[in-house]
A and B are shown apart, each in its own frame.
Chain A
């Protein structure tokens, strides 16, 4: 079984450090290189990072999920609707008064996670039971899920999210220092990191991507494992949905449309192979930070916004090329 390699982690980390260094030099002092800007960058990257953790597992195991943006939107609609409906009557909400706030928030979060996991299960069953290639299965569910969310909301942002959810959680910080979105992204990343690198579950994930048949013969329940990966990725969409509703106090149908491709790009930039079997969460962390760093740096430099897309594309190409070179080198030995 090919082990994850350290080379691309180091390469991509060096690249991130180089980008940060360049931006720090060319921007006015105290703008790009400052604690508060680091906080903004992490806040922007936090949602992508959470989704990318799920995609890392899926790609390593030989799966794929193009529906994560749509599942996030659908879950966000569920969270916003449930929270708005349970917190109080429309008249009370109009006065910003919410008698059942605690219950509403708890139930809404649970519903959001369950719905996300549920759509993940649908993806898993389509890929495993019906044997539809995940590329197609999740492309289709992505369209279906987004379509259903649009039909449900009539295409409009969901209103009446209780304001305290935004003021205390969405804008709130742990110990008044670190925004909750960043804390949650860090916890999720840590958990996925440990599971992937230290547990039997992580080992099985690598084994499946490296050689599915061998993993099956070695006794791994590959079908159940793959379904679980999709369920987990769906649940992560639920978490992102909760964070999204908390930050913006609404569920926007038009957000997250590019999430699936952004997450795949981040994961691949981080050294995970698109062909399965190799990858690490540490690389994914770096890969998910790069777009947010480029965005912040380019805006502060007053560079034309479109250059950010160009830069991310170039980084992606370089990362995949390095990956291909490594695979070829491996096959020669």
Chain B
């Protein structure tokens, strides 16, 4: 009869008690379920010494359009090179799960690994271990502090992009006014770098930096924070956001406050809904890194290395600024993130 782990009135005090031991097992099961990945076999691709070679990409996030565009770029290049390409993302974003994922991927003996290091120091040892097994690693997006822990790195210079955001804001506001920041909770290298660049860049301008706020990913929470910032600073002139969701949340809050004509938003990334906001003038500019280029560059570097041992050059890609004026310029719109396709 009992469906609530309670059979007798005397046990009614604590229905949770019996479920606790099962929690650990279940959480584990959900983690396994939640882990995600994708594969694309390239059996049909012909020729080339890379054909049939297996490369695996470790991704930090399976939701962020930035990372999905990175995968798309890598996957397209892998197909061209004839690689057998697959990607994996850990179910939780921490060093332990990335290390575990790296080790289990390495155990399957791929010909190369492309990964974004979750921690610049903590990932050095596990990566060196994999390199010592003869599996080359190229880091993308986020590198480690020790260059000998990987073959090469292809990053996108987040700090430069953050400085570019500050310059863009400075131009938009004509060199004066109060500005605020709303972004992702510190601790992730890509978004941290953008914030650092923005902070440094602002020092070169006459803008007054009044508020710096962080939230996780929830749009309602982000909009709530921005609403309060708008309330606190009735003369706020600009907001910089360092990834997709704060850009969307800030645009909503500014609209709800009826201040779209007074507050300029400089957003980050170029997901389709951000581009739509830019088109409609609700976002003044978008700073766009080139994750797609990063992915394809990492794969072609790996291809060259596997072919004849060419040691790739590490590079750092720059960012572009999209505004309403240049939104239709192919040199800019080429970097808008792809929607709905892998």
* Chain A residues with a Cβ under 8 A of chain B: 27-28, 31-32, 34, 36-37, 40-41, 43-44, 47-48, 62-63, 127-129, 131, 133-136, 139-140, 142-144, 146-147, 150, 153-157, 159, 163, 170-171, 179, 210-214, 216, 223, 226, 244, 247-250, 252-258, 274-277, 292, 295-296, 299-300, 302, 305, 327
Contact = CB atoms under 8 A, between A and B. Distances in A.
A288 to B, nearest CB: 12
Please provide the 7 A-B residue pairs with the shortest distance between their CB atoms, ordered closest to farther: A44-B224, A299-B228, A254-B217, A143-B30, A40-B227, A135-B19, A155-B63
B143 to A, nearest CB: 24
A32 B213 contact: no
B213 A255 contact: no
Given A147-B34, A248-B249, A275-B14, A258 B215 contact: no
A244 B64 CA distance: 19
Interface string B15-45: 1101100110011011001101000000000
Contacts of A247: 219-220, 223, 252
Contacts of B30: 139-140, 142-143
Contact of B273 (A40, A249, A276, A292): A249
A136 B256 contact: no
Contacts of B225: 295, 299, 305
Contact of B217 (A156, A255, A277): A255
Given A156-B339, A257-B217, 15 more contacts: A43-B223, A135-B23, A147-B33, A150-B62, A150-B63, A154-B68, A154-B342, A159-B276, A252-B219, A258-B218, A274-B16, A275-B13, A299-B213, A302-B232, A305-B215
A256 B220 CA distance: 8
Contacts of A47: 220
A155 B2 CA distance: 38
A133 B18 contact: yes
Given A143-B30, A143-B33, A247-B252, A299 B12 contact: no
Contacts of B68: 154-156
Nearest to A47: B220
A212 B227 contact: no
Contacts of B33: 143-144, 147
Contacts of A63: 4
B3 A150 contact: no
Contacts of A302: 211, 232
A136 B271 contact: no
B65 interface: yes
B261 to A, nearest CB: 15
A31 B272 CA distance: 34
Contacts of A276: 12, 15
Nearest to B17: A275
Contacts of A135: 16, 19, 22-23
B221 to A, nearest CB: 7
Interface in B183-239: 211, 213-221, 223-225, 227-229, 231-232
Given A127-B3, A254-B63, A254-B245, A43 B229 contact: no
Contact of A62 (B4, B18, B219): B4
Contacts of A258: 216, 218
B8 interface: yes
B340 interface: yes
Contact of B22 (A41, A43, A133, A254): A133
Given A159-B273, A212-B6, A171 B15 contact: no
B47 interface: no
A156, A159, A299, most chain B CB atoms within 10 A: A156
Contacts of A146: 34
Nearest to B63: A155
Given A146-B34, A276-B15, A305-B225, A255 B220 contact: yes
A215 to B, nearest CB: 10
Contacts of A256: 218, 220
Contacts of A133: 4-5, 15, 18-19, 22
A76 to B, nearest CB: 10
B243 to A, nearest CB: 10
Nearest to B230: A40
A274 B30 CA distance: 24
Nearest to B275: A159
B108 interface: no
B248 interface: yes
A268 to B, nearest CB: 12
6 contacts: A47-B220, A171-B255, A255-B218, A277-B12, A295-B221, A295-B228
Contacts of A211: 9, 12
A277 B15 CA distance: 12
